[in-house]
């Protein structure tokens, strides 16, 4: 079955697996009709710390301080819920930093 690669940066990965260092790379099975949002929801079920790390706890949606990149393209909030995944796609979770 086709798989999707999920890349999580070190400081976020440590929140999911405290004894882990470096980038965490997961390979998740792709199901028919799976969107980026569906994939992220499945990660919430597998990794309890994922919700607190990536989602806004008050709104239950992805935090505006988190970027979701699909194959080197930053997705908009709308695209996260609408974009269908294909085999060998790569998702990268990136904290966004603001300021100067």
Q: CB-side exposure of 40: number of CA atoms within 13 Å?
A: 27
More confident residue, 87 or 96: 87
Name the average pLDDT for the chain.
88
- Taking the domain 3-95, which CATH number applies? 3.10.20.30
CB 8 within 8 A of CB 21: no
Query: Tokens standing for 94?
Result: 């990136």
Average pLDDT over residues 61-90: 93
Residue with tokens 């709308």: 78
Report pTM: 0.86
- The CB-based long-range contact list for 24-28 (8 Å cut-off, 24+ gap) reads 27/3, 28/3, 28/4
- Read off the DSSP letter of residue 71: T
């Amino acid at each position: 079955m086709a798989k999707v690669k999920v890349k999580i940066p070190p400081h976020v990965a440590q929140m999911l697996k405290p004894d882990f260092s470096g980038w965490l790379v997961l390979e998740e099975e792709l199901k028919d009709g799976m969107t980026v949002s569906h994939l992220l929801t499945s990660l919430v079920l597998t990794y309890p710390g994922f919700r607190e790390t990536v989602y806004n706890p008050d709104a239950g949606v992805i935090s505006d301080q988190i970027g979701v990149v699909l194959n080197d393209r930053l997705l908009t909030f709308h695209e996260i819920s609408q974009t269908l995944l294909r085999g060998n796609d790569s998702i990268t979770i990136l904290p966004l930093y603001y300021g100067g």
